[in-house]
Amino acid sequence: MYYDDDDMLMLSGIQHFRFCPRQWALIHVEQQWDDNRLTVEGVLLHKHVDDASYRQKCGEYITLRSVSIASHELGLYGISDAIELHPSDDEKNSITHPKYSGCWLPYPVEYKHGKPKRNEVDEVQLAAQAMCLEEQYGIHIQWGAIFYHEIRHRVEVEINDSLREIVRNVAVEMHTIYEKGKLPAIQGGKYCDRCSLNNLCLPEMANQPNVSLYLKRNLYEETT
């Protein structure tokens, strides 16, 4: 599959989609958004990370920030938090940099304000970034990392076949829902309490036998 520029979707949305397809659709299809403590903390963290002019040579590797990346095969585009360029002896699987001599292998690094999660939500987003870089430069990337602000620790992630398959499947699902323009059904779960779009999604309605009755009851309680 090859997606034209006009059909590309935001890569960052892949994390929203893995967390909850309905949340992703509310943001990326219906253009709705609301903040809670977690989203505000994430924005504040990335203010210190997203500096496109930042370039640092630290020891053996170079750190670049806010690098534009894209994959027409996945139909995703975005901006990476950071990409480290590690020295490489493999000329066929490396890139060059105009300011630094030698060969370099990109190593994507994603910054998260929380801590490691039980599912692979963060890992899938990192894998998508690696796959974008692979397509752009014709290379293979096996490793990346996620830095979690809450624990002040970096977790190295192998970009394995399992993560790559999830990325491909999710990308297809995202494009399918976007083209239909219809919100996925409410699934509901403990994660709903942590969602900044809880008041827009109204997951409580999923268990209501009569939606109109639910709305009347709640609207009445709010106005009395």
pLDDT of residue 29: 86
pLDDT of residue 46: 46
5-184, what's its fold? Lambda Exonuclease; Chain A (3.90.320)
pLDDT of residue 196: 66
- pTM (two decimals): 0.80
Q: Distance (Å, rounded) from C-alpha 199 to C-alpha 219?
A: 13
pLDDT of residue 38: 41
pLDDT of residue 19: 84
pLDDT of residue 216: 53
Q: Distance (Å, rounded) from C-alpha 168 to C-alpha 128?
A: 9
CA angle 189, 192, 197 (to 5 degrees): 150
What dihedral angle (degrees, nearest 10) is formed by the CA atoms of 116, 23, 83, 120?
Answer: 40
φ, ψ of residue 204 in degrees (nearest 5): -60, -25
The residue type at 223: T
Residue ranges for the chain with pLDDT beneath 50:
35-46, 48, 50, 207-211, 213-215, 220, 223-224
pLDDT of residue 135: 98
pLDDT of residue 30: 82
pLDDT tens digits for range 54-99: 556 667 899 999 999 999 999 999 999 999 999 999 999 999 999 8
Q: Distance (Å, rounded) from C-alpha 72 to C-alpha 88?
A: 27
